[in-house]
Amino acid sequence: MDLYRPERAAELSRVLEVETDHPVIARGGGRAYGDAALLDGGRGVIARRLDRILAFDASTGDVVVEPGISFADMIEIFLPRGWMVPVSPGTGFATIGGAVACDVHGKNHDRRGSFGDHVAWIDLVDAAGSERRISPHDDPVLFAATIGGMGLTGIIARIGFRLVPVAGAAIEVRHQPVRDLDAHLAALFASRETHAYSVGWIDALATGSALGRGIVELAQEPIDAVPPNRPRPQRVPIDAPGFIMNRHTIRLFNRFYAARIGPGGRTRCEHVGAFLYPLDALHDWNRIYGRRGFHQFQCVVPDSEAPRAMRQLLETIAAAGRASFLAVLKTLGSSGRGMMSFAMRGATLALDFPNAPGAIDFVRRLNRIARDHGGRVYLAKDSTLEADDFRAMYPEIPRFESVLERIDPTRRFCSGLSRRLAIRHAGVRS
């Protein structure tokens, strides 16, 4: 893949106007886990240097940014001024453009929805290099295809959205141990009404009566207090040898994680950034999985299916002994605005699996369990989904494809993900 890294938004059109037979995909911080921002034999347009804040209205929180600005930059600039991005994914290295394209969710989905819910308008550079402003009023269909559209409608050049006011940079987090899956889900479902933020960490190797045990973290909105300093990020210096990641080391890690909290739980004050982006404290953490890497699985299933589906998923994972140390359980509040948005009202589970022999087939088994329970897999995290499962999970795909036919008739925008999922290759049904 050839890479372009424009310095100015105006260059986006120029990149698209030359050699029009080359396929193109935009790339932000490169934090999607799979092939969403990869394109063999094509062009990647890295938006990271388009990171300017173009306007800010301190009376409303309305902000206009270029797509390459990261969440970490937004926190650093706006938190001291009493404003925050309403929805943050779990890493500050993601960009706002990537957040629109994946319609990301955070630990506060029940309260604030997905990122796209806060977007007023988008400037989009289309396949011909023309720029157009789209919003729920101006070309609402293209707007709905672009939110969560995985970069396939064009390159996002500017975004107008609204920040939320916050009292300070500290957040008080309650860490509560939960003994099993029922208790875990009950705590998360109850927190929808009582807390702004909630997330559960599951020990995915626990079996039997301990299946689904873990720690639930609950928090309200940030407060005006002096937060503890964020520790200097550490870095994983080398690719760890493959044998490091096995069920024994993972079990040890999970025990250690639970022991930190203690049986009665604890409440402590954290910096908002540390709470939102815990993995950013360990740069290059992916190297722990060694050169072979890992696959991530994240699905959401509707509320009514959550107890059964999560049990089946966790039993399958524990029985295979394939779990990772980062199993995350969250609730989501409602569907996103995009045709390809991941969110639905339900519960979502995310885990990593070392890329050992059989890992892809194993994750595909999990994909199918999610499908069978009326759920879907998150495209930003996916590297294994197959086209037929994808179509069953995302019923609006024919509508999405017909928008692509209109906006990009020569099929300029594509990615490893769109090829793998046969988006626009399985026959367009408008």
Give the shortest CB-94-to-ligand FAD separation in angstroms. Answer: 3
The residue whose two tokens read 């873990």 is 214
Q: Toward ligand FAD, which CB reaches closer, 146 or 318? A: 146
| Structure-block tokens of residue 118 | 């806060």
b/e 23-36 (16+ beta carbons within 10 angstroms → b)? bbbbbbbebbbbbb
Give the shortest CB-50-to-ligand FAD separation in angstroms. Answer: 7
- DSSP element (H, E) containing 306: helix 306-320
| Structure-block tokens of residue 136 | 């729920």
In degrees, rounded to 5, the angle at the alpha carbon of residue 420 between the alpha carbons of residues 414 and 424 is: 55
Q: How far apart are CA 179 and CA 62, in angstroms?
A: 43
β-sheet bridge partners, residue 62: 57, 162
Q: Toward ligand FAD, which CB reaches closer, 37 or 72? A: 37
Q: How far apart are CA 321 and CA 29, in angstroms?
A: 32
Residue in 1, 81, 3 with CA at minimum distance from that of residue 41: 1
Give the shortest CB-97-to-ligand FAD separation in angstroms. Answer: 3
Give the shortest CB-259-to-ligand FAD separation in angstroms. Answer: 24
Give the shortest CB-47-to-ligand FAD separation in angstroms. Answer: 4
Q: Toward ligand FAD, which CB reaches closer, 16 or 94? A: 94
DSSP 70: B
Q: How far apart are CA 148 and CA 380, in angstroms?
A: 9
Give the residues lining the site for ligand FAD (CB under 6 A): 25-32, 36-37, 47, 67, 89-91, 94-95, 97-99, 101-102, 104-106, 150-151, 155-156, 279, 380, 415
Q: Toward ligand FAD, which CB reaches closer, 89 or 318? A: 89
Q: Toward ligand FAD, which CB reaches closer, 108 or 254? A: 108
Give the shortest CB-358-to-ligand FAD separation in angstroms. Answer: 24
Q: Toward ligand FAD, which CB reaches closer, 211 or 272? A: 272
Question: Which pairing describes strands 131-134 and 197-202: parallel, antiparallel, or unpaired?
Answer: unpaired
Say how many residues make up the chain: 430
Give the shortest CB-339-to-ligand FAD separation in angstroms. Answer: 14
Q: Toward ligand FAD, which CB reaches closer, 99 or 272? A: 99
Q: How far apart are CA 179 and CA 356, in angstroms?
A: 30
